[in-house]
Structure 1
Amino acid sequence: MRRFYILLTVGALCTCFTFYYINRYGKQLGSPVPVKANIRQENKQKIQKLEGIDKYVTIDQEEMFALRCNKCAIISNSGRLLKTGAGREIDETECVIRMNTSPTKGFEQDVGSKTTIRVIGHANLKKLQSMSAILEEFFSDPKTKTKHLIVAWLYMTHVNKTSNPHYKTTRILSKMYPGISFYVPTLESMQKAELIFKKETDITRKNANTWFTTGWLTMLLAIATCKNIAVYGMLEHHHCQNHMNDPTLYHYYNPKDGKECQYYKRSEESLAWGHLFITEKAIFENWAKQAPITFHHPFWNISGTSSSSLDTPFITKYRYRYKHFQRFSKLGTIPNLHTHAHITSQSGAFQMKVILIVFCLPFLFLMGCICCF
């Protein structure tokens, strides 16, 4: 009878501790809790004066990018531009900025044909070399060729000018088309882009395991280059969360590239790879409250002047996972979640194992000892 009461007491204590733990932390084992990001409420002047972000230099390192425009149009590659009839309005803009390998031929009515600046992410350079029709359109045809081509390093800050294959490709293209000004970012420009991302999200790009999108670097360039910016074909950050079955194409010129919202969702919810399309657009909305940036096709209904907290899928998921990882690892810095994916990918299951180990094993041990005596 004495052993029975001892077992009953130990079992009750184990149960009480287990319920205490679940009651205190159990709510965090389910859906992530909203987290407010550390957003800097910069004023309009600070947004417009991103010193160093526009420091691009010609491939021969002799001339800095110095173009300045009163008004710029940034043309996205989204299928949202189809059937908008925005081509004439775009071509009437003083400076038109396009991205990557998006063509205009065959789509002039909706996207126009004029190109002042084309920003190409470095990962697209090799593909560009093999696209003869696109090379003709971008660099030779007087109606469609760009005046300035800017290569954006999507994840690199230090680039070896002699051995880097993307730099070599840029050099080859610049020699093939001497009438076009080819620019590459300076170290200062890329460091500034990294710093701005860190200030806006409170996470380094490296720890977020992301590449910058070409759109992110294009927007930074436009803010430094243009007094007024009109963006065409870019959706609001919350659109895909509310319309996951939206059939709009990711690229207006290639149906094989899939649906826009589906790709955004896959990238945004990954902690180990991909672009942060939705998070970047939430940041753009905050900037548009402080600087002359407008959005068309679709129109963004932006109100107020204060920056909103970032509650995008990536930000919420990252901070939720980090919070639990830090509790058990006792790390003092934000971890790289790709490196520690074996722990963070199943944080809820991991915590339940801790519960069993901390509270239930001692009970089993004591029960075994009592039975032996």
Structure 2
Amino acid sequence: MFSEDGSGLMPARRLLLIGLVAGFALFVSFAVYVYQGELTTQLWKPALDAALEKVHLRRLSNQNSSSTSEDDSPHPMPFNVTDPLSGYVNVIKDREPLKMHCNVCAMVSSSGQVLNHEAGAEIDKAECVIRMNDAPVTGFEKHVGTRTTIRVASHTSFQFVNKKKADLLVKNKGLTLVAWGPDHSMKTDGKGRIFNGLSKLAKELGDDIDVYMLTPQRMAYADKVFEKETGKPRQSSGSFLSTGWFTMILATEMCDQIKVYGMISDEYCKAPNAKPVLYHYYGTSKLQECHMYRAMEKQKKGGHRFITEKKVFERWTKKHEITFHSPTWEPKV
């Protein structure tokens, strides 16, 4: 570069000044760049933190799954590995949550299938006998046995159980009643109709019965298991879970061995020689089981997926000691 008079190179001090100005400009540009980068990071930080938290939780879940053997895991996605029965709480606040373990459980279906067999004596030999909803014993002893350890009831059937409590509950001292239902019916603030009824029943029968209900987290878990096993969200698929679904989950969490009575396979109703039976072994309804199952499976909204559930139960025999009796059949999985 030349001086203003064209006599030669620019004086050194002017060159130095230009260098300082250029350096300062670069410094300012760099500072602005860094600031904008920090600002952008701050704006995105909540989203980044949330994403990292999800990755962390997924990693922990994978670690838990890998450290838990199949035999120890109630399902592919256990509710609680260390405390499988958490989420079943007593309706009386000062009483302990459900704590029960049985070596052998007899899970008795309400299906008319049980009337084709006289398995009552065999059922009574089980350490724990599990029944559902308002399925009776009186008058059907040779088919379904005489003992009841646990009765699992839905929010829709509780009124019938309560109405027949002298026969279904009082006769069995020390009985455990487990009730499930949607959150609005189980509210503990005085607005939950079913919870209010359960509390009244528990106080009325005193120490002769323990009454438990599923927490909202437990209810959500049942939905998640359905979605995990079927690939379909329960609500958007128009499905209602059956009492059998909740009962089988409970049984896999508290029983070493489960003997299921009166439950058919998912293929049974397809057989041309399938013997027609009643949907329920009790009551006055003449509704046939397979007709009910097929209709419910096709119903687009509000239908129980009985056949789908039984297919899932069959898969669970790979993880649990589950056998099917009255009728007896072998899982194909």
**In 1: Cα distance, 2:329 partner to 2:281 partner:** 20
Superposed CA RMSD in Å reads 2.2
**In 1: Cα distance, 2:284 partner to 2:324 partner:** 24
2:120 matches 1:92: no
> Max radius of gyration: which structure?
2
2:307 matches 1:274: no
SS at match of 1:73: strand
Larger RCO (CA within 8 A; separation ≥ 6): 1
* 8 Å contact from structure 1 (residues 78, 252) kept in 2: yes
- Within-5 A mapping of 1:328-367: none
**In 2: Cα distance, 1:83 partner to 1:265 partner:** 21
CA apart distance, 1:44: 3.4
Taking structure 2 as the reference length, the TM-score comes to: 0.72
- Within-5 A mapping of 1:147-158: 147-153=175-181, 155-156=182-183
CA apart distance, 1:175: 1.8
2:55 matches 1:60: no
Query: Structure 2 counterpart of 1:253, which letter?
Result: Y
* 8 Å contact from structure 1 (residues 244, 262) kept in 2: no
**In 1: Cα distance, 2:142 partner to 2:239 partner:** 34
Query: Structure 1 counterpart of 2:74, which letter?
Result: I
Query: Structure 2 counterpart of 1:88, which letter?
Result: A
**In 1: Cα distance, 2:298 partner to 2:91 partner:** 37
**In 2: Cα distance, 1:283 partner to 1:115 partner:** 26
Query: Structure 1 counterpart of 2:166, which letter?
Result: E
- Structure 1: segments with no counterpart, 5+ residues: 1-41, 305-373
Equivalent of residue 169 in structure 1, options 197, 200, 206: 197
Q: Deviations over 1:235-273 (max 9, x none)?
A: 001111334974201111124151111111111111112
- Within-5 A mapping of 1:70-219: 70-129=103-162, 131=163, 134-141=164-171, 144=172, 147-153=175-181, 155-156=182-183, 159-161=186-188, 162-178=190-206, 179-219=208-248
**In 2: Cα distance, 1:190 partner to 1:257 partner:** 32
CA apart distance, 1:158: 8.4
SS at match of 1:294: strand
Q: CA 1:156 to 1:285, structure 2 compared with 1: closer, same or farther past 3 Å?
A: farther
Equivalent of residue 45 in structure 1, options 59, 63, 72: 72
**In 2: Cα distance, 1:101 partner to 1:139 partner:** 10
**In 2: Cα distance, 1:145 partner to 1:266 partner:** 39
Query: Structure 2 counterpart of 1:43, which letter?
Result: E
**In 1: Cα distance, 2:249 partner to 2:200 partner:** 27
CA apart distance, 1:188: 2.5
- Structure 2: segments with no counterpart, 5+ residues: 1-68
CA apart distance, 1:156: 4.3
Per the alignment, residue 225 of structure 1 pairs with 254
Q: Deviations over 1:101-160 (max 9, x none)?
A: 00000100010010000000111112333x3xx21112222xx4561000022x548842
Q: CA 1:292 to 1:253, structure 2 compared with 1: closer, same or farther past 3 Å?
A: same
Per the alignment, residue 325 of structure 1 pairs with none
Equivalent of residue 296 in structure 1, options 325, 330, 333: 325
Equivalent of residue 253 in structure 1, options 279, 282, 291: 282
Taking structure 1 as the reference length, the TM-score comes to: 0.65
* 8 Å contact from structure 2 (residues 183, 216) kept in 1: no
SS at match of 1:96: strand
Query: Structure 1 counterpart of 2:280, which letter?
Result: H
* 8 Å contact from structure 2 (residues 134, 161) kept in 1: yes
* 8 Å contact from structure 1 (residues 118, 149) kept in 2: yes
Q: How many residues align?
A: 258
Query: Structure 1 counterpart of 2:211, which letter?
Result: F
Q: CA 1:210 to 1:303, structure 2 compared with 1: closer, same or farther past 3 Å?
A: closer
Q: Deviations over 1:294-341 (max 9, x none)?
A: 11011122244xxxxxxxxxxxxxxxxxxxxxxxxxxxxxxxxxxxxx
- Within-5 A mapping of 1:21-32: none
**In 1: Cα distance, 2:296 partner to 2:72 partner:** 32
* 8 Å contact from structure 1 (residues 245, 261) kept in 2: no
Q: CA 1:77 to 1:137, structure 2 compared with 1: closer, same or farther past 3 Å?
A: same
Query: Structure 2 counterpart of 1:182, which letter?
Result: V
Identity of aligned residues (%): 35
CA apart distance, 1:187: 2.4
SS at match of 1:230: strand
